[in-house]
């Protein structure tokens, strides 16, 4: 039975924001952890490690996120694992985010002037010490703006989790629309809520980028 859009429907959409943010946070933290390993592997002195990391990045960057979510969700069932939509969405987004963050951070690591690498090597620092004490502290400054920018994309990407049944903001919008049959109003509100989540991060990314540009002049 079709019902009118009311305050309760709006509260339901608003409450779904917390699940979008929670999924984004889990995917970002997990993606950052794995992504750092991938970035270090991409700049490793061992060729086999570099090739493995490159293959990982190309696999996840070269296939649609939606397909990756399908493979994680339905593939787990085929292998006898019982993954609920929440766990499947978190795992799929984490793997995808790790590939993109790994490549972003690889570029930031290699953006550190070559002279810094050579000077550290001349001091006798091996790869772990070279990264920890010389390269990574400088790369972090370069990495912050694009990392914040990627977080904006990650928040919007969580909308694809609705396809596998996870009730985040987009899925909540579908549920409310099916009950009220007012798509323009419902998805207009959903779009505004996404904008309110992403806009401050976009401003922060632009501000950090300007600050870094001024610092390097």
Res 102 pLDDT > 70: yes
Q: Which of 28-32, 71-75, 129-133 has the lowest mean pLDDT?
A: 129-133
* Model pLDDT for residues 87-99, shown as the tens digit of each residue: 999 999 999 999 9
Domain boundaries, the chain: 7-214
Which contiguous run of DSSP H or E holds residue 163? none
Q: What is d(CA 4, CA 144) in angstroms, rounded to the nearest whole number? A: 45
- Global model pTM greater than 0.95: no
* Model pLDDT for residues 36-72, shown as the tens digit of each residue: 999 999 988 889 999 999 999 999 999 999 999 999 9
Q: What is d(CA 122, CA 176) in angstroms, rounded to the nearest whole number? A: 64
Q: Which of 74-88, 98-112, 170-184 has the lowest mean pLDDT?
A: 74-88
Let me know: does 94 contact 27? Beta carbons within 8 Å. Answer: yes
CATH code of the domain made up of 7-214: 1.10.3720.10
For residue 134, the model assigns a pLDDT of 84
Let me know: does 154 contact 93? Beta carbons within 8 Å. Answer: yes
How many CA atoms lie within 13 Å of 75's alpha carbon, on the beta-carbon side? Answer: 11
């Amino acid at each position: 039975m079709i019902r009118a859009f009311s305050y309760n429907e709006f509260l339901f959409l608003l409450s779904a924001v917390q699940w979008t943010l929670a999924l984004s946070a889990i995917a970002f933290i997990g993606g950052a952890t794995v992504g750092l390993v991938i970035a270090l592997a991409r700049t490793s002195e061992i060729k086999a490690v570099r090739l493995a990391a490159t293959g990982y990045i190309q696999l996840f960057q070269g296939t649609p996120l939606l397909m990756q979510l399908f493979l994680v969700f339905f593939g787990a069932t085929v292998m006898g694992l019982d993954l609920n939509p929440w766990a499947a969405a978190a795992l799929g987004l984490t793997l995808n985010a790790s590939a993109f963050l790994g490549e972003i951070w690889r570029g930031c690591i290699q953006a550190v002037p070559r002279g810094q690498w050579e000077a550290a090597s001349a001091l006798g620092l091996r790869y772990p010490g070279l990264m920890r004490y010389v390269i990574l502290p400088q790369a972090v400054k370069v990495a912050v703006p694009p990392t914040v920018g990627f977080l904006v994309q990650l928040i919007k990407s969580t909308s694809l989790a609705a396809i596998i049944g996870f009730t985040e903001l987009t899925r909540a919008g579908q549920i409310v629309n099916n009950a009220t049959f007012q798509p323009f109003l419902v998805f207009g509100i959903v779009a505004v809520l996404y904008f309110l989540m992403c806009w401050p991060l976009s401003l922060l990314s632009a501000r950090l980028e300007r600050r870094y540009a001024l610092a390097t002049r």
